[in-house]
Chain A
Amino acid sequence: MQNTRVLVRLALALVTLAFASLASSQNYPNRPITLIVPWGAGGGTDATARIIGSLLERELGQPINVVNRTGGSGVVGHQAIASSPADGYTLGLITVEIAMMHWAGLTQLKPSDFTPIGLVNSDPAGLSVRSDAPYKSVKDVLAAVKANPGKFKASGTGQGGIWHLALAGMLKDQGIDPAAVPWVPSQGAAPGLQDLVAGGVELVTCSIPEARALIDAGKVKPLAIMDATPPALYPKLPTLKSETGSNWQIAAWRVIAAPKGLPADIQSKVVGSLKKVHDSQEFRDFMAKQGYGVVWAGPEDAAKFMAKADADLGSVMKAVGIAK
């Protein structure tokens, strides 16, 4: 008797649970959503995630908690996103590192292990020198590097980071051995730029908005951008292609994504809301003030974009000897 009652209750509970999960797919979202950021509070990725989070909250009508899961050069946070349940209640802001870490043997995770929602931002690499440096253009720098292999040092991020690959890819494209400019690892663009001004390194290949304050202060001189068009901040800055004819382009990008296997109806709902956020004046103003590049690609295009970036970065990493 006692047992039957327990069984009946259990069955009832299960049925309720089943309905609840069915309902959750239809009424999505009916509870708070977590947005995981694989990088620390206060950085560019964090700021982007927080503005998207606060605007998406309005669209979806549920609170969005931005959670920083840092460490291991992004491995920890990306892993946390990928291994969360694919129910739409965990989203993440995945970054260009997802197309790099697996080549370096740090993780098995690839861009294809996520359900993309949308590509929201892309910041191309630039090439900057100290403002009193004798070089007037990228050509001057490349000629000097060719003439004195090993003499010039460059910085802007950690070993094998995106700006390191930007430099290596540019040199490789010009037929110069990437080892001709040794990389000085730094904890990010700001310490790298500071070392540039202090005379520790000669070149920095971080994005243009990262160098903005020092450019405006007249301490640092940008020479080119590794993108198809000049940046909005400095429309007169030449592209690498216009200066040297090179087709080399590279950028740090950010994609809102969910764990793999997100139900299609939930995915389309989030995509619609994210697109509205992306088109909103608040988001555009925020990104413009920070100097961040705004781009948009829906789920299919974002998946294609990431697959191409994955292949490109892999070939540069093999050339530099970072890929395992």
Chain B
Amino acid sequence: MLAIYGQALALVLDPYVLAVIFCSALFGLFVGCIPGLTATMATALLVPITFFMAPVPAIAAIVTATAMAIFSGDIPGALLRIPGTPASAAYTDEAYAMTKKGQAEIALGAGLVFSAIGGLFGTVVMITSAPGLAEIALQFSSFEYFWLVVLGLAGAVFIGNASVLKASISLILGLLVACVGLDNPAAHPRFTFGNTELMGGVSLIPMMVGMFAVSEILRFVTHMDPPLKLATDKIGNIFTGMWELLVKYRWPLVRGSALGTIIGIQPGSGADMAAWMSYAVAKKFSKEPEKFGTGHVEGIVEAGAANNSALAGAWIPAIVFGIPGDSITAIAIGVLYLKGMNPGPTIFLKNPQNIYAIFLVFILANLIMVPLGWLTIKAAKTVLSVSRNILMPTILLFCIVGSFAINNTVFGVALILFFGLVAFVLEENGFPVAPAILGVVLGQMMEENFITSMIKSDGDVSAFFTRPIAMWLAIATFIILFWPVGTWLWRRSRAASPAPQKS
């Protein structure tokens, strides 16, 4: 075992491999920062380059670039309220609220440090127990996924500090948007009005950029806010206070990392969903849930760790069974085959030093994230010293270019402008936009898993409760869903019973 790790270490410490890791780290940081460019896209862009590399540097490039991209998506989210990748959307409002309060360095520092820790956590889980966990993940069928999605949606209405009713309305709007297009179980075009572009549905990224960034620009135009009270020198050392946060929020950190890894292992759900669910969990278990949404770092700690740990988790079923855990590993599996590292249990037997070298790359990538991320933040924070009269139109320009690039069509530009307007109207009236985005993320998954489950069980609903794992997930979902109702009834009955004595 040790001898294999020795060989693996020699493979990783090769100057060529280190140079590849360094370059792809810079590439990943850049891609993640640009709204509209995702970690998945970073991977796809790397594939043709990896054609000409040896197995270890090829996979190392993908691993490093995606880890960096998921972290650096937090930077524009915190500074400009534009999530760089969908995985940062869950806590973008929170981080931006912190920037407005003059705590940008804490938001960014927490994003960086806890992303790295989350990534390391997921890596350790992968190294120690990949085969066993992949075995469990394979037992999940559409019945279990359905409950996972419902759990995620239940979390949505608790995100932010708006009323549950308004959050639910926003969520339903999102679910409605998710219905558009052809990609539904019956493959029947819905709400497309004969338009070919709408057949593809509403893509998440233009919608997300529109709802966060364009609406913020509109608000700036209409309100003429006083410029951000944030002198550049105020983003001092981003590492200040991180140790205190680590000690204070050690449990949310562990919980977020663990949840992220688990969500990552499940095929079909990746870093995006991990961030949403753990943000909701953080609020649910927090001692001060009322502070969430007002610029409170706790949710960023937990969700920031979760999305990076999901990244490592997704590799578990990919390397053991060739089943992708998310859209990034779906691409990576092709590269594994190409490099002769065929996924399957044999990957640990045939040339094991290669797969162990990749494990080491995971560790290395999460470690160099800290210094490189620090430099990126240092460079990015100068954005705040730019006058908002110049900054806002520039952001709009970036949004338009990014939304065009995502599918090379003007339709994407129309989408961001439309959803920017919708979000502006919603937020002016106290409706949060985050649940609408989650509705789009999960709506399609929920419908698909429900319909396919019903086909499999010949229309028998009880199948959702009879499979063992599904049953436990169902119980957990009902407890979370009806907890507020339960406590309300309990309080009411307590309030009601002493009442007669008073009169």
Contact = CB atoms under 8 A, between A and B. Distances in A.
A245 to B, nearest CB: 31
The 6 A-B pairs at the shortest CB distance, nearest first, are namely A71-B200, A213-B322, A72-B199, A42-B331, A41-B44, A200-B141
A316 to B, nearest CB: 15
A199 interface: yes
Given A42-B330, A198-B141, A182 B268 contact: no
Given A47-B334, A198-B138, A201-B456, A190 B185 contact: no
A159 B185 contact: yes
A216 B342 contact: yes
Contacts of A155: 452
Contacts, number: 158
B218 interface: no
Interface string A55-67: 0000000000011
Contacts of A186: 452
Interface in B173-227: 181-183, 185-187, 189, 196-197, 199-201, 203
A60 to B, nearest CB: 16
A71 B40 CA distance: 16
A286 B456 CA distance: 37
Interface in B419-456: 448, 451-452, 455-456
A147 interface: no
A6 interface: no
Contacts of A289: 337-338, 340
Given A153-B455, A199-B141, A289-B338, A213 B344 contact: yes
A75 B408 contact: no
Given A50-B48, A217-B345, A198 B455 contact: no
A197 B345 CA distance: 15
Given A185-B448, A193-B323, A217-B320, 9 more contacts: A69-B407, A69-B408, A72-B199, A191-B268, A213-B321, A214-B344, A216-B346, A217-B345, A290-B337
A153 B448 contact: no
B481 interface: no
A230 to B, nearest CB: 20
Interface in B317-372: 320-324, 327, 330-331, 333-334, 337-338, 340, 342-346
Given A70-B200, A214-B321, A42 B338 contact: no
A160 interface: yes
Contact of A190 (B47, B141, B142, B324): B324
A155 B47 CA distance: 29
Interface residues on A, range: 35 or more
Interface string A36-62: 000011111011001101100000000
B165 to A, nearest CB: 33
A185 B447 CA distance: 12
A106 interface: yes
A139 to B, nearest CB: 25
Contacts of A161: 187
Contacts of B448: 185, 187
Contact of A75 (B199, B267, B346, B456): B199
Interface in B254-279: 267-268
Interface of B: 40-41, 43-44, 47-48, 51, 138-143, 181-183, 185-187, 189, 196-197, 199-201, 203, 267-268, 320-324, 327, 330-331, 333-334, 337-338, 340, 342-346, 407-409, 448, 451-452, 455-456, 458
Contact of B182 (A50, A75, A190): A75
B321 A217 contact: yes
Contacts of B340: 289
Contacts of B40: 41-42
Contacts of B455: 153, 182-185
Interface string A187-224: 10011011101111100000000001110110100000
B124 to A, nearest CB: 24
Nearest to B268: A191
Nearest to A197: B138
B51 A54 contact: yes
Nearest to A53: B48
Contact of B142 (A76, A195, A216): A195
Contacts of A212: 322, 342
A321 interface: no
Given A185-B452, A190-B324, A72 B196 contact: yes
Given A213-B342, A290-B337, A106 B321 contact: no
Contacts of B458: 150
A158 B189 CA distance: 13
Contact of A194 (B186, B199, B267, B327): B267
Contact of A191 (B41, B182, B267): B267
Contacts of B407: 68-71
A81 to B, nearest CB: 12
19 contacts: A41-B44, A42-B43, A71-B201, A71-B407, A106-B199, A153-B456, A159-B185, A190-B322, A195-B142, A195-B452, A198-B138, A198-B141, A214-B321, A214-B323, A217-B344, A219-B321, A289-B338, A289-B340, A291-B337
B346 A50 contact: no
Nearest to A215: B344
Given A54-B48, A68-B407, A184-B456, A194 B334 contact: no
Nearest to A200: B141
A160 B268 CA distance: 21
Contacts of A75: 182, 196, 199-200
A280 interface: no
A104 B199 CA distance: 14
Nearest to B343: A213
B337 to A, nearest CB: 5
Contacts of B139: 198
A21 interface: no
B12 to A, nearest CB: 23
Nearest to B199: A72
B138 A73 contact: no
B327 A42 contact: yes
A126 to B, nearest CB: 15
Nearest to B185: A185
